Structure formats: structure tokens, C-alpha cells
Amino acid sequence: MNAAAKVLAGCKPMTRREIAARLADDIPEGWYVNLGIGAPLQVADYVPAEREVIFQSENGVLGMGPAPAPENINRWLINAGKQYVTLRPGGSYMHHADSFALIRGGHLDLCVLGAFQVAENGDIANWSTSDNESAPAVGGAMDLAAGTPRLWVLMEHTTKTGESRLVRRCSYPLTAIGVVKRVYTNLAVIDMTNEGFAVRDMVPGLTLDALQSVTDAPLRMA
């Protein structure tokens, strides 16, 4: 059993959906939020409808609602992940230059992205795992990461083979430098500070030493 497996055996890691729910708890009413494609999109499911949080999709939708019932699909209304969505009352559309002006201009309160790696200096790598893959495809990741004042990352704490995703320096191609503010993993919630990673909370049964044993970058309690 490797170190990661031993640590995980001693506690109950969160599922993707549990991480999304944990993150959703920290989004207050009134925030404008962009959720990245993939696991971050699930965060919206855990913000109760009575707490008004306004979701943006970078393809020009502000005030995005949940997926429609099959009989109510608007075939011209998709999100950035190219899934059918709805528009909430009060929602609006804009073109791509305005949508990214909104993002780059720092008007969103929060962006949540997935990542391959986050470094202790706030760097994020989430768009490419190698310099020799097929065609490079960045989408809106770099604009969102560089443009949003508050970037939270939602990801597994380690890779499938047990390597830490919280690192001293990213080895994968960077998406943006020095931008991550907080990381939500299946094991812990960790803030980015001027002194590196600071653990806010951990799943029950986990100790800082155990968490450190599966984390490359140094950790301290917040």
C-alpha cells in the first residue's frame, strides 16, 4: 500500500459531488460565478434556488439555470460545455467579446475551475498535460484564470497513481500564474497564502501529518 492509499484508508474522502456541495456552501447570495466545464459545473446543483447566485457561461449567458426538461429544450441555448441549459428570470445574453470583457474586467466574484496541478505560488495548470499531445486546445481557461479576482480550484488531491496535485511548481503547461486563491479537494479545503498552502479544514479522521504525506508542497494549518 503506498502512502496515499494508507492515508485514504484512514478516513473517508469526499466524492466529486460532496466536494461540489462543500464548495457551494461557501458561495454567498449575490455573487456572480463562472463554473468551469466538468466537475465544477456540479456546484450549481448545490446552491439552493432561494439563495440567489448568478451563474455566467462564457459563451454569452448571464443568469444560467439548470438543464431543461426534455420537452422544454431551447436548441439555441447551451453552456460552455455545449449542454442545453435554461435562462433564469432576469438572465441576459451577450456576445463573446462582451462576455470575456466581463471576465477579464474582473466583474465576476468567483470562478471555479478544475486543474491537473496547483502550485504553492498560486500557479494553475489545467489545460494541457503535455507539450507533445495532439492539437493544443485552451478554450476560455486562460481568460477565466487570469481575469477572475477569486479563483477556486476543485480537484482530486492526488492523481489516480497517488501523485500530489498540490505541488511546489507545476510541471504541466501553465494556464495562469499566481491566481489560485483556494483549493477544494476530496481530502481538504486549502487556502493560498503568501506563505503557501494553509489548510482550512480536512475530512474527519485525517491529520495534518497524514495529509502532508500525500502532498508535495508544504502545508500548515490556517
Q: Please report whether residue 82 would count as binding other proteins according to CB under 8 A.
A: yes
Strands 61-65 and 86-93: antiparallel
Binding segment (CB under 8 A) for other proteins, from list 21-29, 47-55, 77-85, 158-166: 77-85
Stretch that binds other proteins, among 17-25, 101-109, 149-157, 159-167 (CB under 8 A): 101-109
Sort strands 54-57 and 151-154 into parallel, antiparallel or unpaired.
Answer: unpaired
As annotated, the active-site residues are 58
- Rounded alpha-carbon distances, angstroms, from residue 66 to 27, 100, 138, 192: 17, 22, 25, 31
Binding residues with other proteins: total (CB under 8 A): 45
Single out the segment in contact with other proteins by CB under 8 A; choices: 40-48, 52-60, 110-118, 189-197: 52-60
In the complex with other proteins, the residue whose CB is nearer, 79 or 158, is 79
Among 13, 40, 140, 196, binds other proteins (CB under 8 A): 140
Our CA dihedral for 214, 215, 216, 219, rounded to 10 degrees, sits at: -140
Q: DSSP labels for 120-169?
A: TTS-EE-S-S-SSSSS---TTHHHHHHH-SSEEEE--SB-TTS-BSEESS
Using CA atoms, how far apart are residues 197 and 189, in angstroms rounded to an integer?
A: 10
Q: Which long-range contacts (CB under 8 A, 24 or more apart) does 194-201 make?
A: 195/220, 196/120, 196/220, 197/120, 197/166, 198/222
- Of positions 11, 54, 78, 198, contacts other proteins by CB under 8 A: 78
Minimum gap (Å) between residue 41 Cβ and other proteins: 15
Verify binding: residue 94, other proteins, rule CB under 8 A: yes
Comparing CB distances to other proteins, the nearer of 143 and 157 is: 143
Q: Under the criterion CB under 8 A, does residue 135 sit at the interface with other proteins?
A: yes
67 binds other proteins (CB under 8 A): no
Among 58, 152, 192, 202, binds other proteins (CB under 8 A): 58
Cell numbers given for 124: 494553475
Applying CB under 8 A, the residues found at the interface with other proteins are 57-61, 74-80, 82-84, 87, 93-97, 99-101, 103-104, 123, 131, 134-143, 146-147, 173-177
